[in-house]
């Protein structure tokens, strides 16, 4: 009997499975985005209460007026991914209106390029996007030094792309009225970021259904995390 060999192999199998399970959170998540979404779902994290400025120079906060907030990060010069995010937000806005949820959910776009995206340039972005001011605020940070902790809290990574633009991950982040990040909905395929690659357009067109699903999930989560609607008794 080679019992030592059997015991050794058993230990190796157990150790290998354990190591791989830890690395993939139980064989479920393989990317940083997915791991973060998974972690936040289990334990919400408080995001820093950073001063924001909207396109009129009015101060804004990540969480305000008792509503849930869906947050995204863009830079307005962005040729690809942010365009997708913009159209996602337009669909979110019309869906919020359709569901009559404007008193419970708001949309917040934050530019991570405050040097370029001054309130004036944010206005140009708004001209293209038609945000309803009661629902959707287009902002950037008031103080550039607060940007990095804000991006860290949301798990957004911005890399210089070498051609004066940025590469960044994109997701819909749901923040509750208390300023806690409660769920992250990665825009799975980051479809537009693939356009520069061979076959990229095929990927982009395939992912429309996936986008609809992400939009619905984010809005459902935002509504679920909003405080209960006050009943107004009609006389």
Partner 1 sequence: MSTARARPVSEGPSPRVMPSAVSAAPKIAASLAITLVLLVTRSPLERWMGLHMLVQIPVLLALGLVVAPRETAVTRAVQRWNRYGAAGLLLAFALVSVWMVPRMLDAAADSMPIDVIKALSLVCAGVIARVSWRNAPTSVRVFAVGNGAWMTATVGMLLLDAPGRLCVSYGIRDQLFTGYGLLAVSLLGGAALSIDLLRGNLTAVAAR
In the complex, the residues that contact partner 1 under the rule CB under 8 A are 2, 4-9, 11-13, 15-17, 19-20, 23-24, 29-35, 155, 157, 159, 161, 167, 169, 188-191, 193-194, 196-197, 203, 207
Residue number, 80 or 93, with CB nearest to partner 1: 80
Contact assessment for residue 143 and residue 35, using Cβ atoms and an 8 Å cutoff:
no
**Beta-carbon count within 10 A of 65 CB:** 9
Name, in order, each residue with C-beta under 8 angstroms of 186's C-beta and a sequence gap of 6 or more: 33, 34, 37, 169, 170, 171, 214
Query: Measured from the CB atom, is 20 or 97 closer to partner 1?
Result: 20
Which pairing describes strands 166-168 and 158-160: parallel, antiparallel, or unpaired?
Answer: antiparallel
Q: Is the Cβ of residue 49 or residue 196 nearer to partner 1 in the bound state?
A: 196
Least Å distance between CB 188 and partner 1? 7
Q: Where are the alpha helices (DSSP H) in 99-185?
A: 119-129, 147-154
- DSSP 8-state symbol, 77: T
DSSP type of residue 80 = S
Q: Which is nearer to partner 1, 136 or 166 (CB)?
A: 166
Q: Which of 20, 19, 55, 24 is nearest to 38 (CA)?
A: 24
Q: Which is nearer to partner 1, 128 or 202 (CB)?
A: 202
Phi, psi of 158 (to 5 degrees): -115, 120
Residues 90, 129: contact at Cβ < 8 Å? yes
CB of residue 24 to partner 1, shortest distance in Å: 6
Shortest reach from residue 231's CB to partner 1, in Å: 44
Measured distance CA(194)–CA(161) in Å, rounded: 13
Question: Which residue, 93 or 207, has its beta carbon nearer to partner 1?
Answer: 207
> Residue 20 Cβ, how far from partner 1 at the closest point, in Å?
6
Question: In the bound complex, what is the minimum distance in angstroms from residue 54's beta carbon to partner 1?
Answer: 28
Residue 151: CB minimum distance to partner 1, A:
11
Q: β-pairing, 68-74 with 105-111?
A: parallel
């Amino acid at each position: 009997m080679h019992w030592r060999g059997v015991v050794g192999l058993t230990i190796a199998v157990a150790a290998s499975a354990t190591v791989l399970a830890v690395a993939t959170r139980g064989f479920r998540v393989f990317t940083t985005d997915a791991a973060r979404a998974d972690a936040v779902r289990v334990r919400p994290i408080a995001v820093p209460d950073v001063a924001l400025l909207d396109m009129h120079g009015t101060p804004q906060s990540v969480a305000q007026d008792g509503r849930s907030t869906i947050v995204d990060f863009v830079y307005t010069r962005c040729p690809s991914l942010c365009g997708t995010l913009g159209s996602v937000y337009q669909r979110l806005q019309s869906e919020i209106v359709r569901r009559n949820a404007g008193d419970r959910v708001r949309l917040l776009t934050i530019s991570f390029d405050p040097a370029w995206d001054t309130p004036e340039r944010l206005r140009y972005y708004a001209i293209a996007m038609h945000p309803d001011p009661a629902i959707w605020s287009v902002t950037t940070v008031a103080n550039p030094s607060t940007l990095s902790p804000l991006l860290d809290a949301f798990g957004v990574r911005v890399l210089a792309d070498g051609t004066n633009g940025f590469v960044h991950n994109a997701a819909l982040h749901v923040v509750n009225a208390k300023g806690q990040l409660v769920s992250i909905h990665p825009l799975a395929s980051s479809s537009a970021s693939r356009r520069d690659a061979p076959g990229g357009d095929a990927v982009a067109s395939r992912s429309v259904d996936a986008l609809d699903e992400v939009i619905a999930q984010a809005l459902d989560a935002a509504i679920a995390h909003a405080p209960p609607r006050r009943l107004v008794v009609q006389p």
